[in-house]
Amino acid sequence: MGMTMTQKILADHAGLESVKSGQLIQAELNMVLGNDVTTPVAIKEFRKAGFTKVFDTEKISIVMDHFTPNKDIKSAEHCKFVREFANEHNIVNFYDVGEMGIEHALLPEKGLTAPGEVIIGADSHTCTYGAVGAFSTGVGSTDMAAGMASGKAWFKVPEAIKFVLTGKPSKWISGKDIILHIIGMIGVDGALYKSMEFTGDGLKYLSMDDRFAMANMAIEAGGKNGIFEVDEITEEYLKDRVSREYKVYKADDDAEYEAVYEIDLSKIELTVAFPHLPENTKPISKVGEVKIDQAVIGSCTNGRLEDLRAAAEVFKGRHIAKNVRALIIPATQKIYRDAMNEGLFDIFLDAGCAISTPTCGPCLGGHMGILAAGERSIATTNRNFVGRMGHPESEVYLSSPAVAAASAVKGYICSPEDLD
């Protein structure tokens, strides 16, 4: 029996000819990631276990992004604790305020993720790097500590689900709409501890930003990881970013999948996830008039340049509705600068938006846009659980940047086409 993309990567990193689903393996790691929330716990476990040095100073990335710039004394102490550890161990890829970005946008941008690599991160959305053909997955802080010390991690080889994408998406349809459609179709546990593998002729219509958004939200379907077949679009993205050698893995024709779904991208509508689960999706045509108080455009899912361009296209020549707050949060310093230099900031400011330095911000109820009781936000983030963005009696609706921008202009959830 053949192997999937994920199984081939794991087999190679475990030094085995082949692996099968359910098998326990120990694999060599190419990168270990942590942030300002999870790394303090990992450091304590690292020291508690008696470790005194990291396995490779260049294969650990620590990014201060969740509560930074520090929102309170506790977050300041966390960051100081991590900063001192990074300095003590000469962590090369340590990113602090002024250099950092949201981790899952920053690492690919810096060329720290590549096809065929095995990457763990003490953050559930580490699965984002599957967009470049890597096996990447979230782990706990204890596993991060062990990974920092040994450069290895244990895995149970996951079963796989194959998504064959066909057709060309309509105007305004993005990777966010596609992945919300898929999660609505299979549910938040539809891919529980499984690899979500994306292939098909439809890939040629998906940009890297689309793919990052989709791989990012594999965890919202319960997935162990999401991974895209590497093609010319991937290679073009990597060309000026990754100079080291990497290996591209392609699934065998006889690879075994638990399920295979064929999805015609031309039939997907703009999609919105209602509270309080990402699976509670509705096509925009069936949303109705849902009033909003806030729109958030950013996060590790949709804070990239293409996302900001889509929002700016909607905002141009328009202004947000009265009593609506619109927050724009570029995912990295480079994206911030590029958006500013393209004139996108002028469009956002003219429309009445507020622009933030890169940060996870309100996505996890951190800061820069916390909701009060009874308030509703449409957001390009990845989770809409109870109290995710503030008060437990607030509501979060998930959408693409285009829908979030249009909704900010109208004051209720709508399509960009409703503004014409």
Using the predicted structure, report yes or no on whether residue 285 has a pLDDT greater than 90: yes
Q: What is the pLDDT of residue 409?
A: 98
| From 22-31, 45-54, 103-112, 356-365, the region with the lowest mean pLDDT | 356-365
Q: Does residue 137 carry a pLDDT above 90?
A: yes
pLDDT of residue 173: 97
What is the rounded average pLDDT of the residues 375-387?
A: 95
Question: Does the pLDDT at position 113 exceed 80?
Answer: yes
Per this entry, what is the length of the chain?
Answer: 420
- Checking if the pLDDT of 65 tops 80, the result is yes
Q: Report the pLDDT averaged over residues 353-373.
A: 93
Mean pLDDT of the chain: 96
Cis-peptide into 276, omega within 30 deg: yes
**292/40 Cα distance (integer angstroms):** 36
Q: pLDDT-derived band of residue 314, with 50, 70 and 90 as boundaries?
A: very high
How does pLDDT run across 247-260, given as a tens digit for each residue? 999 999 999 999 99
3-state secondary structure of 66: coil
Query: How far is residue 183's CA from residue 178's CA, in Å, rounded to a whole number?
Result: 9
In the chain, which residues fall in CATH 3.30.499.10? 5-264, 269-415
Give strand pairing partners of 263: 165
Q: What angle do CA 174, 180, 185 make, to 5 degrees?
A: 130
Q: Looking at residue 356, what is its pLDDT?
A: 95
Torsion angle in degrees (nearest 10) through CA of 368, 373, 376, 377: 10
User: What is the pLDDT, as a whole number, of residue 73?
Assistant: 95
Burial class of residue 159 in the structure, from the number of CB atoms within 10 Å of its CB (0-12 exposed, 13-18 middle, 19+ buried): buried
Q: Do residues 119 and 100 make contact, with C-beta atoms less than 8 angstroms apart?
A: no
Distance CA 136, CA 306 (A): 23
pLDDT digits 0-9 by tens, 182-238: 999 999 999 999 999 999 999 999 999 999 999 999 999 999 999 999 999 999 999
3-state secondary structure of 169: coil
Q: Is the model's pTM score more than 0.85? A: yes
Residues of the chain by 3-state class (helix, strand, coil), percent to 5? 35, 20, 45
* Mean pLDDT of all residues in 256-283: 96
Mean pLDDT of 121-145: 97
CATH (residue range 269-415): 3.30.499.10
For 158-167, the pLDDT digits (tens) are 999 999 999 9
Whole-number pLDDT of residue 124: 95
Predicted confidence band of residue 1 (pLDDT cuts 50, 70, 90): confident
Domain 5-264 has CATH 3.30.365.10: no
Beta-strand pair 152-156/24-28 = antiparallel
pLDDT at 420: 79
